[in-house]
């Protein structure tokens, strides 16, 4: 740890001990006193929008013809006076002022172009979501897609953070070689692409994500030793925390306490998951790492908590998060549906089956308010983290029953540092590329010089 005594704490102050590296949240003490310099430093520290890109695979019930008529994904009304109650987006009602719904855009890059590509929608769609680029059909290492929106942002605005970006997932994504229909598994396993030929691996295990964010142990031996002792990374920096606290006012001490308690609580929950999964009891996910909860709900919320803490300490400003896997037959008991995800998605155009798949869509959306509330309660200067964040949530597939890529579900959440109005439902005209929305989001988060993204044909006004 280092700071300029008698002046202020640098924004990049970190506390270190036995391999632990814990960055601090933004504190008033990090703003130099007085004048233009103070305002400039504060603006540089705070006015960077955080970006989260979330893929929920395999479309939505509301993208089918019958489901669209029943408004199972998005509401009937456009504009600001819309009713969310009956749609899959109903759980977002408390956050409607941060919600922008964009209905009926198409993801043409995920469509088959040549005859051998027909049937391969499951195995190329995820690669298209954030790149909006048609991937090369190959089972070898010569993969090619496009640069994803999260990586374009990370290269421009993430280089001054300890971790430029992080990629998280929920399902198993460690397959190698070819998957099916002539496609490499990396196309369906990964959604972030640093270059057209460089897909980025994703972290499924919350323990691995925690260790990356907080430098928990400089070596595998140190990490294993600390876990056996069930100690916390915070146990190794207590003296430094006390030293910093002596230099802070009451409000900064409160922020420090809340932040460090958040770190400790997440670590405690991960330890509980590991202990439960190492107990010898039968697991619902027998092949998963010990740090991965069997509960989808618990797993997703842990990953959301890690993202919120990382944003709070400005460890990274960019996350991509893959919440599902095409062709997964996972059952979500909390949704009230006993069918597996993939079987439920092939609804056969039967209204009862479509309604059931809509329940699963609604359940997935119902996890977002947990994250939104977490971001809303964290102060980041004079705004909440939710006001400083953009969350893109959607799917590159439309109606999963026929594997098409029309009327794809897409929403944008957060305030984008005042650049997103929210409380808006917009319906795209027929044939509008989702890439147009992605391009506009890029402009909202500071990438104003980018004129083309994927197959975009221009901006799409977000109100």
| Nearest residue to 328 (alpha-carbon basis) of 427, 188, 156, 124 | 188
418 Ramachandran zone, left/alpha/beta (phi>0; psi -120 to 50): left
Number of alpha carbons in the 13 Å side-chain half-sphere of residue 135: 41
Q: What does pTM read for this prediction?
A: 0.93
pLDDT at 216: 63
Check if CATH label 3.40.1350 holds for domain 52-204+317-463. Answer: no
For 196, counting Cβ atoms within 10 Å of its Cβ (0-12 exposed, 13-18 middle, 19+ buried), the class is: middle
Question: What CA–CA distance (Å, rounded) separates 234 from 15?
Answer: 9
| Nearest residue to 57 (alpha-carbon basis) of 125, 107, 131, 148 | 125
The alpha carbons of the chain give a radius of gyration, in whole angstroms, of: 22
**Series of mean pLDDT values for 10-residue runs along the chain (463 residues):** 51 78 87 54 66 96 96 96 95 98 98 95 95 96 97 96 96 77 94 97 96 74 61 83 89 91 94 94 91 97 98 96 92 96 96 98 98 96 94 97 96 97 96 98 97 97 91
pLDDT at 463: 82
Q: How far apart are the first and last CA of the chain?
A: 45
Domain edges within the chain: 1-47+205-291, 52-204+317-463
Question: What CA–CA distance (Å, rounded) separates 346 from 364?
Answer: 17
Q: What would the two tokens of residue 237 be? A: 């920096």
């Amino acid at each position: 740890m280092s700071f300029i005594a008698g002046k202020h704490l640098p924004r990049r102050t970190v506390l270190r001990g036995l391999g632990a590296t814990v960055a601090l949240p933004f504190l008033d003490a990090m703003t130099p006193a007085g004048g233009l310099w103070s305002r400039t430093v504060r603006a540089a520290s705070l006015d960077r929008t955080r970006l989260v890109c979330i893929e929920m695979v395999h479309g939505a019930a509301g993208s089918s013809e019958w489901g669209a008529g029943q408004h199972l994904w998005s509401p009937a009304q456009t504009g600001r006076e819309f009713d969310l109650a009956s749609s899959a987006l109903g759980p977002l009602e408390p956050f409607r002022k941060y919600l922008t719904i964009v209905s009926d855009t198409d993801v043409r890059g995920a469509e088959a172009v040549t005859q051998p590509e027909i049937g391969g929608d499951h195995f190329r769609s995820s690669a298209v979501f954030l790149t909006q680029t048609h991937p090369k059909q190959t089972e070898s290492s010569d993969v090619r897609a496009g640069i994803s929106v999260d990586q374009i942002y990370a290269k421009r605005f993430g280089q001054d953070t300890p971790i430029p970006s992080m990629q998280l997932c929920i399902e198993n994504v460690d397959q190698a070689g070819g998957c099916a229909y002539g496609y490499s598994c990396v196309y369906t396993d990964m959604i972030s692409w640093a270059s057209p030929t460089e897909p980025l691996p994703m972290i499924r295990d919350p323990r691995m994500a925690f260790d990356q964010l907080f430098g928990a142990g400089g070596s595998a031996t140190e990490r294993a030793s600390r876990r056996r002792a069930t100690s916390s990374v915070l146990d190794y920096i207590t003296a430094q925390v006390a030293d910093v606290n002596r230099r802070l006012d009451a409000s900064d001490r409160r922020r420090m306490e809340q932040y460090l308690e958040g770190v400790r609580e997440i670590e405690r929950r991960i330890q509980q998951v590991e202990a439960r999964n190492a107990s010898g009891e039968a697991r619902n996910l027998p092949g998963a790492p010990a740090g991965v909860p069997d509960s989808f709900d618990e797993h997703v919320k842990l990953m959301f908590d890690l993202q919120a803490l990382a944003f709070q300490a400005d460890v990274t400003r960019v996350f991509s998060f893959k919440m599902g896997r095409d062709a997964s037959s996972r059952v979500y008991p909390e949704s009230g549906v006993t069918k597996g995800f993939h079987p439920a998605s092939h609804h056969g155009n039967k209204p009862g089956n479509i309604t059931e798949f809509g329940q699963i869509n609604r359940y997935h959306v119902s996890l977002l308010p947990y994250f939104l509330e977490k971001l809303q309660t964290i102060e980041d200067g004079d705004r909440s983290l939710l006001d400083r964040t953009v969350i893109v949530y959607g799917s590159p597939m439309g109606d999963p029953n026929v594997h098409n890529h029309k009327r794809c579900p897409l929403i944008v959440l957060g305030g984008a540092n005042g650049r997103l109005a929210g409380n808006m439902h917009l319906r795209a005209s027929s044939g509008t590329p989702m890439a147009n929305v992605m391009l506009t989001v890029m402009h909202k988060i500071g990438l104003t010089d980018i004129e083309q993204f994927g197959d975009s044909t221009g901006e799409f006004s977000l109100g």
